[in-house]
Amino acid sequence: MGQGTRFFEISCQVLFSLCCLLWFFCILLFAADAPVASAPEDRRITDPKSVVSASNPRAGPVAISQLYYTRSTFGPAWSPDNREIVFTSNLTGRFNLWKVPASGGFPIQLLQSDERQTGAVWSPDGKWIVFEQDLGGGEIYDLFAVPSDGGDLVNLTNTPNVSESSAHWSPDGGTLAMSYWPKTASSRDIALLDWKTKKVRKLTDEQAKNREWYASIWSVDGKTIYANRANAGFTDCDVYRIDVATGKLENLTPHQGDVLYKVSSISPDGKTLLVTSNQRGGYQNVALLDVGSKQRTWVTDLKWEADGGEFSPDGRSFTYTVNADGRMDIYLVNRGTGHAEKLPFQEGINSPAGNPRAYSPSSDRLLVSHQSSTQPADLWVYDMATRQSRQLTFSAVASLNPSRLPSSQLVHYKTFDGKTISAFLWVPFNLKRDGSNPGIVLPHGGPTGQTVDSFSRTAAALASRGYVCIAPNVRGSTGYGMEFQRANYKDLGGGDLQDEVYAAHFLSATGYVDAGKIGITGGSYGGYMAMIAIGRTPEVWAASVELFGITDWLTEQQHEEPTLQQYDQSILGDPVKDRKSYEDASPIKYFKNAKAPLLILQGGNDIRDPKEEAAQAETILKTEGKVVEAHYYPDEGHGFSKRENQIDAMQRTVDWFDRYLRNKP
C-alpha cells in the first residue's frame, strides 16, 4: 500500500515554511479525527466545533449509479496449485462466481445466474468448486458444484426446505462438512455429504432451541472436526472436538457462566488450536489452545476486539486481527519467536480473506481484503518474503474518484447517562457553518453489530449531496466489550434510541446542521430504529427511511425464521413472561405520536424481518393519517442484492430526504 504523498526536495527554508503551514492546516482539518485509544475507556470526547468542512472545488453529488456499478468483491478461495483465485463479485449486477489469476489479470466469469452465489471453495484435487446459492434472497441455500475450468452445474443437495451452506472439504476430498438448517428448526447443525454418493449424514444433533453449530475445521488426517457451539445471543460459546466416524463430542473449553470461546484454525501438526475468547473481562482476545492438555497461552491482552485468524500451511506463522474502535488491522505472528507484526495496509478495514484459508497453499502469500470510507473492498495479495502487497481486484468504476468523496471521521460524544459513544462522521465539502444544513443519523443492524470504517454507499450518496451523516455505535453494539453489548438487554428502543438522539444533538452542535432538518435511516435493526425513533422521540426527526425493520416484536416472533426468534429472546426475554418488554420496545406502540414522514423499503422474500412487519407499519400509519409510503421488491430478501433494486432503493431514499429535509419537489 502507498505510504502517502512526499514533498519534492526544495530549499530548506521554503520546505520548513511549507511544513509549518501544512501542520497548522492539518490540525484544523482533522481536529475531529480522534487518535486510536489504547482501550475504550481512553477515548477522548470530540468537541463538535472542531469538526470542519473541507474545501474541495471538485466536489459534487456522486451519481448513485456510479456507487452501485462499483462492485462488491468478497469470498475468495485459492486453487490448490496456487495459480488461481475464485471469488464472488456483482460485476454484472448479480453476485456470481469469477476467477482471476493469482499473479493478476482480467477476471473471468465462471457462472451466470440471477441468484446469488457465495462461499466458493476448491476441491483438494483442484477439479471442482463447490458453492452455495439461494433463490430470490430467501436464504434457503443449496450446495452446488461446478468444474473449476467451467461446465455444467451439479446441485449437490436440492432440498427446498433445508438450507445447506459453509462447505468445507475433507483433506482427502471425499467428504464435505456443511452447515445444515431445516427452515422450521431453531438451531443449525453440522452435516457431512459424501462426494461420491451425495448422501448426507448429520454429525451433530442439537436438541437445545437456543444453540447452534458452526465453523467446521478438519484435522489433517480427516478423522476429527473442530467446531463451535454457541447460544443464540452469542454471549456463550464452546469449542468442541468431534469424531467424524462416531459423532462423539468432547468439549475443549468447559467453563462456568457466559463466556465466549471460538476456534478459527488448527496447526498443521494438529496439536494447537487458534481460539478467540472474552474470558478476560468480557473483551475478546486471542489464545493458543493445546489440544492435548486444554491449556491456553494468551497471544493478546487488549480491551479492543481481537480475533484469531489462521495458521499458515507450513505452520511457521499465524494471523489475527484487531478491531480498535471500528478500524481493523492484521497482525502476523512468527511462531518461532512469538513476534507480532502489523501488516502495512492503509487505514480502514483490513482482514485476511480466504476459504478455507487466506494463506496460499505454499504459505508464501496472504490474501487480504482492504476497504476504507472512500475505497470499496478489494482483494490484495501480500508477499510474505518481500513484505509488499499488490492489488488483485479493482472494484471501483473509474468515474468514482475517491477525492470527491468525504472521508469518515471518528468522533466520540457523551450520551444521556454519561456513557461514551463512538461514531463515524461524514462531513460534506464546502459547507457553511451557519446551522442551515440537513443531517442524517445512520443506525446499524443487529443490535449486536457495529458500524466500522468501511465503504458505505449510503453515506457516500448522502454526504456528497450535502447531508452531514453520523453512524453511532450505540449500546448493544459489539466491539466495546460484553458489558456494553448487554447494556440494552430488555431495553430495545430505550437507551440505545437515546444514544441515536444524542448523535443528532452532536450534528446540530457542530454548527453546520439545522436541528429541524435531521433524518434517520437504516436497515434491519437500523430500520427498526428508524421507525421507533419517529414515534418515541418525534420532536427530533424531520424524515425517516426504514429498510426491512421490525414493527412489532411480538408479531416478529410469529413470522421470522426460528433461529432469529431465539436471538430476539436472548435480548428481550421470554415473549410470555416478559411480554411488556416486547410491547414497550415495539414501534407500533408509538406510531400515533409520529410526525416525520416515513418511507418503507422491503424485500418480499425476507425471512429475517418479513414483509408482514412492513405491511402493518404502512397500514397503521395510513390509518393514523401519517405521511407514509412503501415499496416492495418481490425478488429480494433481507438486504437488496440485485443492482437495479439497490439503485432504486438509494434513489428513493435520496428523493425522500430531499423532499422533506430540503423542501424539494
CA distances from 541 to 472, 515, 520, 521, 550 (A): 16, 9, 7, 11, 19
The Cα 428–Cα 412 span in angstroms is 19
Grid cell at residue 461 = 450518496
pLDDT in tens, 149-191: 999 999 999 999 999 999 999 999 999 999 999 999 999 999 9
10 Å CB burial of residue 222 (0-12, 13-18, 19+) is middle
Q: How confident is the model at residue 78 (pLDDT cuts 50, 70, 90)?
A: very high
**Number of residues assigned to the chain:** 665
Does the structure show a pLDDT above 70 at 32?
no
Q: Which residues contact 359 (CB under 8 A, 6 or more apart)?
A: 78, 310, 312, 313, 352, 365, 366, 367
10 Å CB burial of residue 54 (0-12, 13-18, 19+) is middle
Q: How confident is the model at residue 15 (pLDDT cuts 50, 70, 90)?
A: very low
**What are the E-state strand segments in 385-464?**
389-391, 408-414, 420-426, 437-441
Grid cell at residue 535 = 414515534
- The answer to whether 333 and 308 are in contact (CB under 8 A) is no
The Cα 369–Cα 87 span in angstroms is 12
The Cα 408–Cα 18 span in angstroms is 26
Does the structure show a pLDDT above 70 at 5?
no
- The answer to whether 528 and 491 are in contact (CB under 8 A) is no
Does residue 562 have a cis peptide bond before it, meaning omega lies within 30 degrees of 0? Answer: no
Q: Which of 94, 109, 137, 114 is nearest to 607 (CA)?
A: 137
**Which pLDDT does position 38 carry in this prediction?**
86
Q: What's the average model confidence in pLDDT over 221-230?
A: 98
Amino acid residing at 59 = A
The Cα 43–Cα 38 span in angstroms is 8
DSSP states of 167-179: EEE-TTSSEEEEE
Q: What are phi and psi of 489, to 5 degrees?
A: -60, 125
- What does the angle CA 546 – CA 547 – CA 551 come to, to the nearest 5 degrees? 65
Q: Which of 106, 111, 116 is nearest to 139 (CA)?
A: 116
Q: How confident is the model at residue 45 (pLDDT cuts 50, 70, 90)?
A: very high
Pick the CATH number of 76-314 from 3.40.50.300, 3.90.650.10, 3.40.50.360, 2.120.10.30: 2.120.10.30
pLDDT in tens, 359-389: 999 999 999 999 999 999 999 999 999 999 9
CA distances from 96 to 71, 80, 86, 170, 340 (A): 12, 21, 10, 25, 36
Q: How confident is the model at residue 665 (pLDDT cuts 50, 70, 90)?
A: confident
pLDDT in tens, 124-152: 999 999 999 999 999 999 999 999 999 99
DSSP states of 182-201: ETT-SS-EEEEEETTT--EE
- The answer to whether 167 and 177 are in contact (CB under 8 A) is yes
- The answer to whether 277 and 261 are in contact (CB under 8 A) is yes
Provide CATH 3.40.50.1820 ranges for the chain: 406-661
CA distances from 271 to 319, 469, 618 (A): 17, 49, 57
Reduce the DSSP state of residue 505 to 3 states and report it: helix
Q: Which of 289, 170, 167, 290 is nearest to 223 (CA)?
A: 170
The Cα 351–Cα 330 span in angstroms is 6
Does the structure show a pLDDT above 80 at 214?
yes
Does the structure show a pLDDT above 60 at 17?
no
Does residue 447 have a cis peptide bond before it, meaning omega lies within 30 degrees of 0? Answer: yes
Long-range (24+ apart) CB contacts under 8 A made by 161-166 are: 163/134, 163/139, 164/132, 164/191, 164/193, 164/200, 165/119, 165/132, 165/141, 166/119, 166/132, 166/214, 166/216
Q: How confident is the model at residue 35 (pLDDT cuts 50, 70, 90)?
A: low
The Cα 54–Cα 409 span in angstroms is 12
pLDDT in tens, 436-483: 999 999 999 999 999 999 999 999 999 999 999 999 999 999 999 999
- The answer to whether 479 and 37 are in contact (CB under 8 A) is no
pLDDT in tens, 597-648: 999 999 999 999 999 999 999 999 999 999 999 999 999 999 999 999 999 9
Does the structure show a pLDDT above 90 at 9?
no
How confident is the prediction for the chain on average, in pLDDT? 93
Q: What are phi and psi of 609, to 5 degrees?
A: -125, 85
CA atoms within 13 Å, Cβ hemisphere of 507: 35
DSSP states of 533-569: HHHHSTTT-SEEEEES--S-HHHHHHHS-HHHHHHHH
CA distances from 664 to 517, 520, 655, 659, 661 (A): 13, 18, 8, 5, 8
Q: Which of 583, 408, 303, 444 is nearest to 54 (CA)?
A: 408
Does the structure show a pLDDT above 90 at 317?
yes
**Which pLDDT does position 664 carry in this prediction?**
85
DSSP states of 634-662: TT-BSB--SHHHHHHHHHHHHHHHHHHHS
The Cα 593–Cα 626 span in angstroms is 10
Does the structure show a pLDDT above 70 at 202?
yes
**Which pLDDT does position 11 carry in this prediction?**
34
The Cα 547–Cα 557 span in angstroms is 18
pLDDT in tens, 89-119: 999 999 999 999 999 999 999 999 999 999 9
0.85 exceeded by the pTM?
yes
Reduce the DSSP state of residue 506 to 3 states and report it: helix
Tally Cβ neighbours within 10 Å of residue 324. Answer: 19
Pick the CATH number of 406-661 from 3.30.70.920, 3.40.50.720, 3.40.50.1820, 3.30.70.1060: 3.40.50.1820
Reduce the DSSP state of residue 268 to 3 states and report it: coil
The H or E element that residue 28 is part of is helix 12-29
Beta pairing partners, 212 = 230
Provide CATH 2.120.10.30 ranges for the chain: 76-314
Q: How confident is the model at residue 18 (pLDDT cuts 50, 70, 90)?
A: very low
Q: What's the average model confidence in pLDDT over 252-262?
A: 96
pLDDT in tens, 328-348: 999 999 999 999 999 999 999
Name the percent of the chain lying above pLDDT 90: 93
DSSP states of 371-394: EETTEEEEEEEEETTT--EEE---
Q: How confident is the model at residue 13 (pLDDT cuts 50, 70, 90)?
A: very low
Does the structure show a pLDDT above 80 at 3?
no
